[in-house]
Amino acid sequence: MITGTGITKTFSRRGGVLGGREVPALRGVDFAIEKGGAASFIGESGCGKTTLGRILAGLESHDSGEITIDGVPMSSLTPRRRQPYFRRVQLVHQDPYSALNPTRTIHQTLSAPLSLRARQMERAGTGRPRSWIGERAEELLSLVGLDPGYVLPRYPHQLSGGMRQRVVIARALTVDPEVLVADEAVSMIDVSLRLGILALLKDLRDRLGVSVLFITHDVATARYIGTDGELYVIYRGQVVERGPVETVISAPVHPYTQALLSAIPVLHGLETPGEQRVVPTEALDASRHDRGCLFAPRCPFRTARCESERPVLGHDGGTPQEHACFHPEARTVVAVPVSHS
């Protein structure tokens, strides 16, 4: 189990004559991912969801807050001793084209982390025969739905995008991770192949007990990974709504969540649009607004209080999910299928 409390991260961007500008990427984010569970982070690009994934995979450091992995607070460890913990969190990149080394065959790509794993197990007294690496590579490729005989001797450029993404997942599995962080893992894959990758991630949850942290802008895919999962809606580095996937989608209470869900195209003919769709007001330079509620400049329901005070995550108004809004109101914004009678 992995938890985070009050994770903050600020990037300083170099700019103009007046010196740097501080850009907060994460403003005190709390989360918890159960073993075998699913958590999805949704939001627009630049909202901080990718940064969070990278922090969890140990690729980026955070400024303050505490991450605990299996009950061990990371701040209590030296960077070197932290590494094995972060290795239990593996990142599946968005771009399957740059995620694999073009000069190495799939066999080489998989055997490097596997031989590392073999050495670790030897040290732990559970030594494996030499043939284990090859066997395990085949086993993992079969697990992700690929034909090892075909894939192993090939270079990445000889595989399709969907196959590459499966190889990337197999590589992440070489170190027996507890959490897979899938950052927009299907956005660069052909539409007809996306569901296959999503189904694989879902299947890995069931078969290996791997938890999946799903980072996406496409809420429907988050729903496919696990209807039992937790949904986090992030706006400009702050979690504005958090709750069970189905609850947040069917009855969102934060205006930002409502705007985000309202923006999802409706398949007219198959679906009828939600009745209370929310269209955010367009504000120039909303990103410079730092007082009060972060969403206030674009919020159609804002009041004077929203401009001066920042709401915090909670169950105000007795909603089943947590939210950070002074005026929570459940609205039906999502399109519903046309019933065939």
Partner 1 sequence: MSVTVVPAAGASATVRRNFWRGVWRVMRRKPSRMVGAAIVAGFALMGIFGPLLYPDPLPRDTQALYAPPSWRHPFGTDFEGTDVLALVVTGARYVLLTAAVTAVITVVLGTAIGLFSGFKRGRWDSVLMRLTDMKLTIPGLPLLLVLSTIWKFTGAIEMGLVLGLLGWGGVARAVRSQTLSLRERGFIEAARGLGLSTGHIVGRELLPSMAPYIAMNTLIAVTGAVYAQVGLFFLGVLPFEANNWGVMLNLAVFGGGALTTTAALPYLLAPLLAILLLTLGIVLVVDAMDEIFNPRLREE
Partner 2 sequence: MAAEQSSEQSSDRSSAPGVRIRGLSVVYRTGAGELPAVSGIDLDLPPGTITGVVGESGSGKSTLALSLLNAVQPPGRIAAGSVEIDGLGDVAALHGDGLRRARGRHIGYVFQAAQNSLNPLKTVGGQLLDLGRSHGMGRSHGPDDLRGLVREARGLLDRMGLDGARVLDSYQHELSGGMRQRVGIMLALVLNARVVVLDEPTTALDMITQATILRIIREVHEERGLTTLVITHDLGVVAEVADNLAVMYGGRLVEQGPTGEVLGDPRHPYTRGLLAAIPRLAGDIGEARALPGRPPTLDSVPADGCVFRERCALRMEVCETGRVPVVSWGSRTAVCHAVQGAREDVKQTVTAGTVTAGTAIADMGEEQA
Q: Is residue 109 packed enough to be buried (19+ CB in 10 Å), middle (13-18) or exposed (0-12)?
A: buried
Rounded distance between C-alpha atoms, residue 117 and residue 140, angstroms: 14
Q: Per the structure block, which two tokens stand in for 232?
A: 């986090």
Between residues 133 and 259, which has the closer beta carbon with respect to partner 1?
A: 133
- 102 near partner 1, judged by CB under 8 A: yes
First to last CA, the chain: 45
Contact 211, 36 (CB under 8 A): yes
Pick the closest to residue 9 from 17, 98, 22, 72 (CA basis). 22
Neighbours of 113 (CB within 10 A): 18
Rounded distance between C-alpha atoms, residue 288 and residue 311, angstroms: 18
Between residues 151 and 313, which has the closer beta carbon with respect to partner 1?
A: 151
E-assigned strands of 130-281?
179-183, 211-216, 230-235, 238-244, 271-272
Q: How far is the CB of 129 from partner 2 (least distance, A)?
A: 36
Q: Pick from 32, 59, 72, 199: which binds partner 2 (CB under 8 A)? A: 199
Rounded distance between C-alpha atoms, residue 13 and residue 29, angstroms: 21
Q: How far is the CB of 103 from partner 2 (least distance, A)?
A: 23
Q: How far is the CB of 115 from partner 1 (least distance, A)?
A: 9
Q: Pick from 157, 207, 288, 340: which binds partner 1 (CB under 8 A)? A: 157
Between residues 61 and 192, which has the closer beta carbon with respect to partner 2?
A: 192
- 260 near partner 2, judged by CB under 8 A: yes
Q: How far is the CB of 208 from partner 2 (least distance, A)?
A: 20
Contacted entry of partner 1, partner 2, none for residue 168, CB cut-off 5 to 8 Å set by kind? partner 1
Q: Pick from 198, 204, 299, 324: which binds partner 2 (CB under 8 A)? A: 198
Rounded distance between C-alpha atoms, residue 40 and residue 322, angstroms: 15
Q: Pick from 168, 212, 225, 333: which binds partner 1 (CB under 8 A)? A: 168
Chain centroid, CA 266 distance in Å? 24
- 219 near partner 2, judged by CB under 8 A: yes
Q: How far is the CB of 196 from partner 2 (least distance, A)?
A: 4
Q: How far is the CB of 127 from partner 1 (least distance, A)?
A: 16
Contact 215, 270 (CB under 8 A): no
Rounded distance between C-alpha atoms, residue 298 and residue 280, angstroms: 5
Q: Pick from 11, 36, 77, 104: which binds partner 1 (CB under 8 A)? A: 104
State which of positions 118-137 bind partner 1 (CB under 8 A): 130-131, 133-135
Q: How far is the CB of 328 from partner 1 (least distance, A)?
A: 38
Which residues here bind partner 1, judged by CB under 8 A? 57-59, 83-84, 86-87, 90-91, 93, 95, 98-105, 107-108, 111-113, 116, 130-131, 133-135, 138, 148-149, 152-153, 155, 157-158, 168, 171-172, 174-175
